[in-house]
Amino acid sequence: QVQLVQSGADVKKPGASVKVSCKASGYPFSDHYLYWVRQAPGQGLECMGMIKPKTGSTAYSQKFQGRLTLTRDTSTNTLYMDLSSLTSDDTAVYYCARNTFSGFDFWGQGTLVTVSS
């Protein structure tokens, strides 16, 4: 069955960077685009960006341009989200999600990133 398993919670200081991983299994890794979506406490969902597993090509939401880097490792079917220059506003649960153009059909369990001094 399709699974997206993310790395565990992390705590970072303001100005630092965080790297979250998401391991995909149960389907051909190259067949679907993968997205990162975040949710601040008590807030809504926010699309951050996308990676095409086959080529490594990426697209980023304007809000995160210059601060977000998405990569993937096709040997382990794992994608990575690297967010730099963290502030308290980046405290959120970060999800990876599989996209079928029609919608996001499978989601990771979420990773809580807390930014605090």
Q: Which residues bind other proteins (CB under 8 A)?
A: 33, 35, 37, 44-47, 49-50, 59-63, 95, 97, 99-105, 107-110
In the bound complex, what is the minimum distance in angstroms from residue 45's beta carbon to other proteins? 4
Q: Check if the beta carbon of residue 3 is closer than 8 Å to that of residue 74.
A: no
**Under a CB-based contact definition with an 8 Å cutoff, are residues 38 and 20 in contact?**
no
Q: Are 8 and 31 in contact (CB under 8 A)?
A: no
Nearest residue (CB) to other proteins, 65 versus 117: 65
CB atoms within 10 A of CB 64: 20
- The residue (of 18 and 37) whose beta carbon lies closer to other proteins is 37
Cβ of residue 8: shortest distance to other proteins, in angstroms? 15
Residue number with CB closer to other proteins (16 or 71):
71
Region of 90 (left: φ > 0; alpha: ψ -120 to 50; beta: rest) is alpha
Nearest distance, CB of residue 64 and other proteins, angstroms: 10
